[in-house]
Chains A and B, each alone.
Chain A
Amino acid sequence: MVSIVAANFAKFGKREEDIFSISSESAMPIVDKFRDAIDFVVVSNSYSGEFNGISGLNSLLTTHLAMDDLPSMRVDNASGSGGSAILAAKSLVASGEARNVLVIGTEKMTGYPTKKSTGIIASLLPPEERSGGLSLPSLAAFMARAYMREFSPTRESIAMVAVKNHHNGAMNPYAHFQSEVSLEKVLASKVIADPLRIFEYCPVSDGAVSLLVSSDADSSSLANRTVKIAGTGAGSGVSSIASRESLVTIESVKESSAKAFRSSGTKPDDVDIAELHDMASILEIVESEDVGFFKKGEGWKALENGETAIGGRLPINTSGGLNSKGHPIGASGVAQAAEIYLQLTGQAGKRQVKNASTGFSLSMAGFGNNSISIVYGVN
């Protein structure tokens, strides 16, 4: 078994510092404490070339952190980079290639006009679809429209994802947004891609988060409170959105989640807290169904009933999610694991969920082009 032994955030948001400083802010407390144990560094990052004009970020970063002697690699799987990086770290440890892997999820994206950053992110779409003027936010709007036609949710229930996640984010000192938002304000805010509004989309953020992923032989001697990676699953679907059978389900999420539950010997009902990939409000609802938490077409009811709020049956995105915590792309999947670590070790402060022992995270690349699901347990 492989465990998460430590986690540390640099605040998400618009940051003045460069990608090295932000990454270092998240990694240095772990490096200072565990330098002698760390024997590999995995950097989760997708856009250092496009946004920062940097290639080979992993080696530049290990040099910056005075760990030039350690082997490293950069994992890029678009917005699913974080899940893939944890999968890589777990595999390095499980195979015996490494014993203690420092995972650094990092992205520096702000400082460009929205049109430019939207265009850069849209480059993950098939060129033939991108040339139709498509963007990731517009895909979420197509999904919302199809979901509303098929399952007749209340419009309010979809917007409630933003209300809930801003509420949670306001209790997370590392979140981009630190304030609550009312349902009325969400529904009166600027339309970005009809029908979805600005509060229903994640912001463009900078941020970094680091984890130490260790073997069983090491973890108990390194820390008292650790979280085990109980199971992982990766799934993939067609990158072409127009070619998909349905716009209200994401096949890669179903596949990765079924695999993660199978490999951990758990089922969706066992999960106490979950972090999902809420790039847009509707995605949290659709994913909550595809993971298996709710029946298809009924995820919106859970929002209305408060089941996914802190204090509900299955709190989702206690961190604030991408929606409020922010979405520094390479950092997001690592941040999900860090939130589960904080929750399962009782270090989540005001947003702490009581008696949680099984966690779940879904890291998703693009619009579900592929997905990585992880089940966590307490040691």
Chain B
Amino acid sequence: MTTDPGTFPKPRPLPTADTAPYWAALADERVVLQHCDACDRFVHYPRHRCPHCLSDRLSWREVSGAGTVFTFSVARQPTAVMFADEVPQVIAVVELPEGVRITSTVVDADPDTLRCGAAVVPVFDHQPGETTLLRHRLA
């Protein structure tokens, strides 16, 4: 592990046993969410028990991944040095119709005209040897 912040690699997700199906689906350009079969609500991020009722009866359901921008910020200064190449980076909270919010980036937005509520669709960001990230672009 490097100890020099200047050469720290760009952080990518390292799945756990509970989250692996989410990332595996993204690699196939599918979006899956955990669904709680006890309280009939969707869950994100994936975890070991439902945060609404603490049941462990969680199953996976495929969804479109499309939604709306709930809120966002434009990082004019990188939030950490590893993201310097993405500035200005539009970091967003995307709300899915299934009732969950996820952290994403809006890759093609004009930072000066983007507004909360904008409709967005999934972008699958594949990088060789890395976990696929779910980003978004304007619908």
The judgment on whether A and B are partners is: no
